[in-house]
Amino acid sequence: MKRILITGQNGYIGTHLAAYLSSFPDRYEVVMLPMKGHTPDEYAFRGADAIVHTAAIVHQKESKETLPLYDAVNRGLTIALAEKAKREGVKQFVFFSSMSVYGMDTGTITEKTVPAPKTAYGRSKLEAETAIAPLADDGFFITILRPPMVIGSGAKGNPARLSALAKKLPFCPDFQNRRSMVSIETLCRTVKDTLDKPLSGIVFPQEREPLSTAALMEQAKREQGKAPKKTKLFNPAIRVLRACTRVGKKAFGDLVYEGLYKRALPLPKGKEEPQ
């Protein structure tokens, strides 16, 4: 049986992951580590097989007040946890990074795409990746996950906004864009796979095929007990929005991982600094 420590006690990903792994009681002992108001030094890591670090500052407006939090939590806490884990004999450190390290609202991301984050969130994640990567060796695996948009019942961020919009609109736009996404179920299975077969590298959890924003809104309608009605009436306005505004690009633009399905890339070697 493997002992798995998970940070992010109250987070969407952390709570779902803990519940999923706990459904295999003969294979995993799951322990949640609260991080808010606590430091890594308060916990003993010896005897643990892996730490899955999901705790982070996310979905907060970037301001002078919040910028130090991104650095302290997303970068500083990650480094402190990984260093302590290695010192105390933990075999694997799984770090939840993000597609945001690429700084792209639209486009195609391949193995050759160089990260260039545009937000404090993206920069803090990439800086954490670069700092912990050199810790990896034959006895300590560093697994970095760069998931795209995480979807599922109760998901926060953009999925929650789209669900709220779908609730207000009588129709769903019949507009087919392509976005790489990952369901919370697929994400949990991906983490389990990396725990079962530890590796050092960058992993890109995602659904086999990209989905569309319209498909998410239609699903939100179904979850509300309503039959989705589609219309192309909004398409001209959507095209203008995605061409001229960042909100439009993020909501209805194309942003996909290409050639990275079920693949792992080598860890950064100190060159993937924020551009």
* β partners of residue 201: 143
Stated pTM of the model: 0.93
Residue 228 has a pLDDT of 82
- DSSP β-ladder status, 264-265 and 201-203: antiparallel
Residue 60 has a pLDDT of 80
Q: Tell me whether residue 9 is exposed, middle or buried, using C-beta atoms within 10 angstroms of its C-beta: 0 to 12, 13 to 18, 19 or more.
A: middle
pLDDT tens, position by position, 225-271: 887 888 998 899 899 988 999 888 888 999 999 999 999 999 987 64
Average pLDDT over residues 157-168: 80
Say if residues 261 and 109 touch (Cβ distance below 8 Å): no
pLDDT tens, position by position, 82-138: 999 999 999 999 999 999 999 999 999 999 999 999 999 999 999 999 999 999 999
pLDDT tens, position by position, 164-178: 877 777 888 899 999
Say if residues 99 and 147 touch (Cβ distance below 8 Å): yes
Structural domains in the chain, CATH included, are 2-155+182-208+258-265 (3.40.50.720), 158-176+211-252 (no CATH)
Residue 52 has a pLDDT of 98
Say if residues 142 and 133 touch (Cβ distance below 8 Å): yes
Please list the alpha-helical segments (H only) found in the chain.
Answer: 12-22, 67-69, 78-87, 120-132, 158-168, 184-196, 213-223, 235-244, 246-252
Residue 72 has a pLDDT of 95
